[in-house]
Amino acid sequence: MKGLFISFEGTEGCGKSTQVKLLANQLTALGYRVRTLREPGGTPIGEEIRHTLKHSQHNHAMTAEAELLLMNASRAQLVREIIRPALAAGEVVVCDRFYDSTTAYQGYGRELDLEKVKAVIDFAVGETKPKLTLFLHVPPEVSAARLKSRQENLPFVRDRIEEADRKFFERVAHGFGVIAAAEPQRVKFINGAQPLEMVCAKIWELVHPLLPRLGRW
């Protein structure tokens, strides 16, 4: 029996990573086999690409086109090495970002041609697409405050993406909004500025109806 593929999306500081962990814990407690992943990354090759994209001290000259291709090189490896086998084995795959982030960040944020972005994504993922995408939205001021707090309170690790200016993140937020409006059956809008428990409850409300068809292990 095939598994279920869920992705989490949103701008910086929206609370995705926390909610991914909470959902995975809840599913595991109920007896589901859960695979949690992140993008870029999730495989040895992908993690090396992640470092090049985000943390390397030598990536300042990276072009938007190179960023797009590297993101999808990591994704292509993740889909074939991890996601497809996990789904075939009946696992619940929960991914912190997937191709909607590329549309929002590289398409809208970097202002690359959206048709070319889509073509690269389609080549990378083929038919492997999330059944449910949870879009956690927070206002720009909340995102900025959370990002600042994270940078101040965690050991500093340079993130090239986070170095973009405010206009970039405004375009990214707009892009996510367009994506959510275009695919309301798959992409579900969640107010990420609510208390953590309320966000968690809303996510479970959306995920739970998809689970019975998977059975239990």
What residues make up the domain containing 13? Answer: 4-214
pLDDT band at 212 (very low <50, low <70, confident <90, very high): low
On the question of pLDDT at 98 being above 70, the answer is yes
- Taking residues 93-99, report their average pLDDT: 98
Report how far residue 15's alpha carbon sits from residue 12's, in angstroms, rounded to the nearest whole number: 8
pLDDT in tens, 130-188: 999 999 998 777 666 666 666 566 566 778 998 899 899 999 999 999 999 999 999 99
**Residues 67-83: what's their mean pLDDT?**
98
Percent of the chain with pLDDT over 90: 80
The pLDDT of residue 151: 59
SS (H, E, C) the chain: CCCEEEEEECCCCCCHHHHHHHHHHHHHHCCCCEEEEECCCCCHHHHHHHHHHHHCCCCCCCCHHHHHHHHHHHHHHHHHHHHHHHHHCCCEEEEECCHHHHHHHHHHHCCCCHHHHHHHHHHHHCCCCCCEEEEEECCHHHHHHHHHHHHHHCCCCCCCHHHCCHHHHHHHHHHHHHHHHHCCCCEEEEECCCCHHHHHHHHHHHHHHHCHHHCCC
Query: Of 99-103, 129-133, 188-192, which gets the smallest average pLDDT?
Result: 188-192
For residue 120, pLDDT beyond 70:
yes
**CA torsion, points 87, 118, 163, 140, in degrees to nearest 10?**
-80
CATH number at residue 176: 3.40.50.300
Query: What pLDDT is recorded for position 156?
Result: 60
**Dihedrals φ, ψ of 57, to 5°?**
-80, 0
pLDDT at 217 over 50: no
Of 109-123, 137-151, 183-197, the least confident: 137-151
Q: How many domains does the chain have?
A: 1
